[in-house]
Amino acid sequence: MKVIDISRTIQADMEMYPGDTGPQITKVSGLDEGDSYNTSRITLGTHTGTHVDPPLHLIRDGAGIDRLPMNTLVGNARVLDLSSINRPIEAGDIGPLEAGEIILLKGDSGDSGSSGDPGTSGGAYLTAVCARYLVDIGIKTIGTDAISIGALDEEYEVHHTLLDARIVVIEGLEMPDVEAGDYFLVCLPLKIANGDGGPARAVLINEKK
């Protein structure tokens, strides 16, 4: 069995969504300073690094991160390698899917961190038509290695289309060396009461290796 970490490392200089403040990690006590233990304080946004978008991210009275069914974030998943496509992803790029699937999109690495703008800093990001295609099929969860699931000029519509249909969105995955194929996903966001998002540790399990 092989376990692959597909989470971004939380650090002060990490890529963030434009306008979001990066995490702050402050040492509170340290062995080198004569204290009995090391402890630190961390301040970060709910959409930092690898994270999950629940309906509450855009929908008033939608389910928060603490109310998401765990079977939307733990289960059989399929990784699609779309790294040869350097533009917003269309339905034809994804191909046939089945209802209830968890789909993870690996996109073009781009020039990560060059601008921070969604749809320009690498990864797989969707057109609004493609988002509607996913809704019509009835997939359960969609994940991407992009900082945002939506193409720059359609970002809000893409999010609304998916979240209105209660499709769970995972953003900011780290999959440069992950091959296309079938895996078992475990993605566990922080259980924040009424959270509009949740930073997560995500892994893929390949039981054949």
pLDDT digits (tens, 9 = 90+) for 33-50: 999 999 999 999 999 999
Structural class in CATH, domain 2-8+45-206: alpha beta
The first and second tokens of residue 12, run together, are 């002060």
| First and final C-alpha spacing in the chain | 5
Give the mean pLDDT of 2-15. 96
In this prediction, residue 32 carries a pLDDT of 95
Confirm if 48 and 7 have CB atoms less than 8 A apart.
no
Known catalytic membership, residue 159: no
Name the pTM for this structure.
Answer: 0.93
Give tens-digit pLDDT for 66-116: 999 999 999 999 999 999 999 999 999 999 999 999 999 999 876 443 344
Q: Catalytic: which of 51, 57, 159, 160?
A: 57
H-helix or E-strand containing 91? helix 91-94
**DSSP symbols for 149-189:** SB-GGGHHHHHHHHHHTT-EEEE----TTPPSEEEEEEEEE
**DSSP symbols for 17-82:** -TTPPPPEEEEEE-GGGT-SS-EEEEE--TT-SSEEE-GGGTSTT---GGGS-GGGTEEEEEEEE-
